[in-house]
Amino acid sequence: MRIVVAHNRYREAQPSGENTIVDAEIAQLTAAGVEVLPFIRSSDEIPTMPKTAKALLPVSPIYAPRAQQELSRLITEHRPDVLHLHNPYPLLSPWVVRTAHRHGVPVVQTVHNYRQVCSSGLYFRDGMICQDCRGRALGVPAIVHRCYRGSRAQSALMATTLAVHRPTWRSVDRFIALTSAVAEHLRDYGIPAERIVVKPNAIPDPGRPAPLGTGFLFLGRLSPEKGLDLLLDAWRRHPDGALGPLRIAGDGELRPLVEAAAAERADVTFLGPLDRAGVRAALSASAVVLATSTWHDVLPTVIIEALAAGRPVLGTALGGIPYLVGAATPRLPAGTGPATAASA
């Protein structure tokens, strides 16, 4: 069997569970004897692109001509049985679904976020859960609030992309929803239930867990929806050292906030961005992993890695967090703010 795995990698400077899962799935499929044809682009390519290619970037979410040409050549040469799509933005475009179908290749997509509806993909705005664009033909609220990259122009382009590609997404042959909540999101979008399967992500077994370390670990993207301000505010309510050490690893727009906290308190350490070996070492050194997301985080890879490493998880009761840690929490109505639950 031959599978094209199509994915636009997120920038390596920022931790991406999605990148990790795609790499793991390619390795698992290959080990199982499946011929994998990676069709991978990276957002890290953008700064080095020639001026002509950069000029086309604004429209690439709608239609990326280079990606369609390259995919057509790949399919013509190798005749794959299926295309498995993860993230198409910005360099692949959802148009790869149409390109695959034009060649008679069925398409499966793993849904890692809510970007069929939400321009940011998060259902999160101004520190709160937001579903203002849900059910709209065009996401005007996303444009008004500059939800995509803080730009009204880019938000207008992404909202237009989502409107243009509504038929594209509805033509996908099978969706892989990571949780039952994501399956419900897809049904609400208009996808028939028989075209949705629920399959959580997985990672390779890392082996026997190391003995518990000390303190708490936050590992992930340093951005508002991950709840870092909530975490640090709670930490500051206790005397320095009273809770034990807090280690924070990752990178992103809130890095200055974390660096300031580390300079201010002896019990906060900023580890910076980590490679895979660094992630394993940080997990081994810690006793508890924190998942403080204040959005409906679909299925945080850090929790899967923590549980595989034998580390308990303390997290908010949002998105896939209770799905993974087993907390029995009530369903939260749309538009509610963060609620917390703990599980170990």
The overall average pLDDT reported for the chain is: 91
Q: What is the pLDDT of residue 15?
A: 63
Query: Is there a shared CATH topology between the 2-198 domain and the 216-325 domain?
Result: yes
Angle at 196 between CA 190 and CA 202, to 5 degrees: 135
pLDDT of 251 higher than 80? yes
Average pLDDT over residues 306-330: 86
Q: Which helix (H) or strand (E) holds 38?
A: strand 35-42
Enter the tokens of residue 243. 């809770």
- Give 64's pLDDT tier (boundaries 50, 70, 90): very high
Distance CA 336, CA 295 (A): 10
- Give 130's pLDDT tier (boundaries 50, 70, 90): very high
pLDDT of 270 higher than 70? yes
* Cα dihedral across residues 106, 112, 114, 119: positive or negative: negative
State the helix-helix crossing angle for 301-308 and 276-285, rounded to 10 degrees. Answer: 60
Enter the tokens of residue 113. 């976020």
Q: What is the pLDDT of residue 50?
A: 77
Residue in 101, 111, 98 with CA at minimum distance from that of residue 65: 98
Residue in 337, 313, 338 with CA at minimum distance from that of residue 327: 313
Note whether 6 and 110 are within 8 A (CB): no
Q: What is the pLDDT of residue 342?
A: 35
pLDDT of 71 higher than 90? yes
Fold of 2-198: Rossmann fold (3.40.50)
Distance CA 241, CA 266 (A): 7
Beta partners for residue 219, in sequence order = 249
- Give 326's pLDDT tier (boundaries 50, 70, 90): confident
Enter the tokens of residue 287. 């006793």
Domain boundaries, the chain: 2-198, 216-325
pLDDT of 335 higher than 60? no
The architecture of the domain spanning 216-325 is 3-Layer(aba) Sandwich (3.40)
DSSP state of 193: G
Q: What is the pLDDT of residue 51?
A: 74
- Give 117's pLDDT tier (boundaries 50, 70, 90): very high
- Give 13's pLDDT tier (boundaries 50, 70, 90): low
Distance CA 237, CA 137 (A): 45
CB atoms < 10 A from the CB of 165, how many?
22
Note whether 281 and 312 are within 8 A (CB): no
Average pLDDT over residues 80-89: 97
Distance CA 300, CA 135 (A): 26
pLDDT, tens only, 204-234 = 888 999 999 999 999 999 999 999 999 999 9
The better pLDDT of the pair 332, 288 is held by 288
DSSP state of 333: P
- Give 165's pLDDT tier (boundaries 50, 70, 90): very high
pLDDT, tens only, 133-142 = 999 999 999 9
